[in-house]
Amino acid sequence: MISRDDALAFVLAGVDRLDTVSVAVTSALGSVLAHDVVAAHLVPPFANSAMDGVALRSVDSAPGARLRLVGTIAAGTVASRSIGPGESMRIMTGAPMPDGADAVVMVERCTFGGTPGEEVVEVADAVPAGHHVRPAGDDIAPGDAVLSAGTTLTPGAIALLRTVGRDRVDVIRRPLVGVFSTGDELVEPPAELGPGQIYDSNRSALVGLLAESGFDPLDLGLIADDEERIEGAVRDGVARCDALVTSGGVSMGDFDFVKTVLDRIGDMRWMQIAIKPAKPLAFGTVPSRGRAVPVFGLPGNPVSSMVSFELFARPALRKMAGHEVLERPTVAAIAEHDFGRRSDGKTHFVRVVVSVDDAGCYRVVSAGGQGSHHVASMAAANGLVVLDDGEGARAGETVRVLPIGPVI
């Protein structure tokens, strides 16, 4: 067996960052920025009101001061005239400041009166110049580098790109990843199960994990344990995709045709990793159209398949997508009960439910059964406790946790 670190290092060395593409900003969420983005204009482009209220000259403001109202400025419009001594204008949030005005009194501090055509406002406060005014360029100036290459585009970053007027952006291409399952024992719901058959869950889980991780999955279907069909599926997948993820057929059984095919048409390494679950892993490349396409052969047991994806495929695909941080960080948590194990030379990844107590500390409890076929506990888990080889952890001890879902 080899260590998880050595296996991951081998996998990461076998993948490269994908090329740069131009995409619509509205389609770039989760992608990695390829180049710095530099602003060309002031943001905001003009001085504007930060409040609904009254724009005036600060020198005219005083508790009880009465000013004539000479207009209204809505967002998206400009004042038809400037403001002179003793004058003011109603103004809405985001509307441009009229010439002559240098302050805004919020509407809650104003009392309106007068008659139509002779409206007046009484202000409750004296305000300084600049009060509730956003100056032009207050946020961004021309030439500012607003986003750096390597940034993962979050919703906030998307908003910033639109704010500086960008409709397209250069990003590292997200990997298109093909997924198929193999096994004569597998059946697609809602078909009736025959003797010895089970429903295929791995493919759906892997497609979901790929999408959740920001990659583009391509479902290549369920393939029977037939060498010719498996070879066809592999060749089709590597021709269409940037990477291929298979589930099942990577052990040492007589019907593990995925291994047979990949040995024949690819450059693969078959590993037994010192972890539980997800001990078997295949990784290598298959040539297609002048490219060496990475192939991840994950184990067939459903929990093993998902854990193997998390530990090996996800970091490698993140490297392909241009991310600099490849693995999720672990956090320290308090064990709510014993997490016992026997020494077997492996690192155990235990499915747990992670919560936060009133003091802000992470706490973990088992998510249920820990067999590699126990899908219910994987569905309940939002973390994996990492237990190094040994006797495990006692209740109250601090353990390392790899979060795999939201902690609420």
Rounded to an integer, what distance in angstroms lies between the CA atom of residue 402 and that of residue 350?
10
Helix axes 257-265, 227-240, angle to 10 degrees: 50
Average pLDDT of 177-202? 93
pLDDT tens for 233-249 read: 999 999 999 999 998 76
Would you place residue 393 in the very low, low, confident or very high pLDDT band (cuts 50, 70, 90)? Answer: very high
Do 395 and 311 share a structural domain? no
Percent of the chain with pLDDT over 90: 93
Per-residue pLDDT at 209? 98
Domain co-membership, 166 together with 25: yes
Q: Are residues 84 and 143 in the same domain?
A: no
Instruction: Evaluate whether residue 408 is within a structural domain.
Output: no
| Residue 326 domain flag | no
Residue 255 pLDDT level (bands cut at 50, 70, 90): low
Residue 250: pLDDT band with limits 50, 70, 90: low
pLDDT band at 353 (very low <50, low <70, confident <90, very high): very high
Q: 184 near 249, Cβ under 8 Å? A: no
User: Which CATH number is 205's domain given?
Assistant: 3.40.980.10
Domain of 78, CATH number, reads 2.170.190.11
- Among residues 315, 273, 269, the alpha carbon closest in space to that of 295 is found at 269
For the chain, the domain total comes to 4
The per-residue pLDDT for range 83-106, each reduced to its tens digit, is 999 999 999 999 999 999 999 999
pLDDT value at residue 253: 56
Burial 376-386 (b: 16+ CB within 10 A, else e): ebbeebbbbbb
Going by DSSP bridges, is the β-strand pair 339-340/392-393 parallel, antiparallel, or unpaired? antiparallel
Mean pLDDT of the chain: 95
Residue ranges making up the domain that contains 143: 20-43+139-172
pLDDT for position 184: 87
pLDDT at 354: 98
In a shared domain, residues 25 and 13: no
Q: What is the pLDDT of residues 302-332, one digit of tens each?
A: 999 999 999 999 999 999 999 999 999 999 9
Q: In which band, very low, low, confident or very high, does the pLDDT at 116 lie, cut at 50, 70 and 90?
A: confident
Same structural domain, 179 and 112? no
Residue 166 lies in a domain: yes
Residue 251 in this model has a pLDDT that exceeds 90: no
Contacts of 353 (CB under 8 A, 6+ apart): 364, 365, 366, 367, 380, 381, 382, 383
Q: DSSP letter at 27?
A: G
For the domain that residue 397 is a member of, what is the CATH number?
Answer: 2.40.340.10
Rg of the chain over Cα atoms, rounded to whole angstroms, equals: 31
- Least confident range from 5-14, 79-88, 245-254: namely 245-254
Residue 314 in any domain: the answer is yes
**Is this model's pTM higher than 0.85 or not?**
yes
CA distance 241 to 254: 29
Task: Please check the confidence at residue 391 and state whether its pLDDT lies above 60.
Answer: yes
201 found inside a domain: yes
- Residue among 269, 251, 252, 274 at smallest CA distance from 1: 274
Q: How far is CA 254 from the centre of its chain?
A: 40
pLDDT at position 365, please? 98
